[in-house]
Amino acid sequence: MTITEEIKQLKKEKNAVILAHYYVTPEVQDIADYIGDSFYLSKIAVGLEEQTIVYCGVSFMGESAKVLNPEKTVLMPDAEADCPMAHMADRETIERMRETYEDLAVVCYINSTAELKQYSDVCVTSANAVQIVKALPNKNIFFIPDRNLAHFVAEQVPEKHFVYNEGFCPIHEEMQLEELKRAKEAHPNALVLTHPECTKAILELSDYIGSTSGIINYAKNSDAEEFIICTENGVRHKLEKENPGKRFYFTETEPVCADMKKITLEKILHVLKTGENEVQISEELRELSKRPLEKMLELAK
């Protein structure tokens, strides 16, 4: 039996379902039952019939799935796969901001630990941040942890006052403007599709800015034939699969999220066999971090 067949068989035996983010490797994407961006995956995780969720992504994603579905078993193929940005904010600063601004909404990018979510008013993803911030009654917004997404949202919602936090995604932050300029010179007809975790300089050269699903949908629906993609290289798989006639380029130094790439078929098989790496979360933390996640799902309807 191949490893893929073994996974499929065990999945049935254990009543399990596999969720995967677009940044994981192509072979892991191909074995998944559901694949998507953070927003889609957080929505789909609610109301699945299977008892066990194998989450092919980083720890904040598995945590959110567990928070929203406490009765389910959530297994992480690699317990060390973590998003560095998810830790780039702190309780003390949040409390200081709440004292400084009476009318403050703490808006928490879903790429954050449950620990941070519990001090926040609402979660957002890159797919719904603008819509949700617009819908909030608060004038003052403290946006954690990502400063790049915060600046992007602030530009779309000029009526609000933003306080920024110094977090960032190292993979998107390190994308080089010079490399993008060279890619544009090499492919003058290509449209630039960019994730809002990139820096302002990269966003300014972009034709479209959106989540990973947003980028994939844009490329599919566009009449253009060439695209320069400014996000993690895992999205190439879906882009090429869905658009055989179109060409996709990345910058010379392709952005790779080493944590997302830790997920392998062998590790999926291992957790299915052993039940190891189950996401555990205390009832108190679960209750507190559930509120901003549920508020997001409600406001993004």
In the complex, which residues of this chain contact ligand 13P (CB under 6 A)? 37-38, 111, 125-127, 169, 195, 197, 211-212
Q: Which of ligand SF4, ligand 13P, none does residue 84 bind (CB under 5 to 8 Å by kind)?
A: ligand SF4
Q: Which of 52, 232, 269, 271 binds ligand SF4 (CB under 6 A)?
A: 232
Smallest gap from residue 147 Cβ to ligand SF4 (A): 12
34: its two tokens: 């559901």
Q: Which of ligand SF4, ligand 13P, none does residue 227 bind (CB under 5 to 8 Å by kind)?
A: none
Q: Which residue, 140 or 211, is less far from ligand 13P as judged by CB?
A: 211
* 78 makes contact with ligand SF4 (CB under 6 A): no
Smallest gap from residue 212 Cβ to ligand SF4 (A): 9
Q: Which residue, 67 or 86, is less far from ligand SF4 as judged by CB?
A: 86
Stretch that binds ligand SF4, among 151-159, 241-249, 254-262, 285-293 (CB under 6 A): 254-262
* 169 makes contact with ligand SF4 (CB under 6 A): yes
Instruction: Map tokens 């492919």 to a residue.
Output: 187
Q: Which of 83, 192, 230, 300 binds ligand SF4 (CB under 6 A)?
A: 83
Give the footprint of ligand SF4 on residues 32-61 (CB under 6 A).
58
Smallest gap from residue 83 Cβ to ligand 13P (A): 6
Q: Which of 162, 121, 158 is nearest to 296 (CA)?
A: 121
Q: Which residue, 53 or 257, is less far from ligand SF4 as judged by CB?
A: 257
* 84 makes contact with ligand SF4 (CB under 6 A): yes
* 63 makes contact with ligand SF4 (CB under 6 A): no
Give the footprint of ligand SF4 on residues 95-124 (CB under 6 A).
111
Q: Which of 37, 63, 78, 259 binds ligand SF4 (CB under 6 A)?
A: 259
Annotate the chain with three-state secondary structure. CCHHHHHHHHHHHCCEEEEEECCCCHHHHHHCCEEECHHHHHHHCCCCCCCEEEEECCHHHHHHHHHHCCCCEEECCCCCCCCHHHHCCCHHHHHHHHHHCCCEEEEEECCCCHHHHCCCCEEECCCCHHHHHHHCCCCEEEEECEHHHHHHHHHHCCCCEEEECCECCHHHHCCCHHHHHHHHHHCCCCEEEECCCCCHHHHHCCCEECCHHHHHHHHHHCCCCEEEEECCCCHHHHHHHHCCCCEEECCCCCCCCCCHHHCCHHHHHHHHHHCCCECCCCHHHHHHHHHHHHHHHHHCC
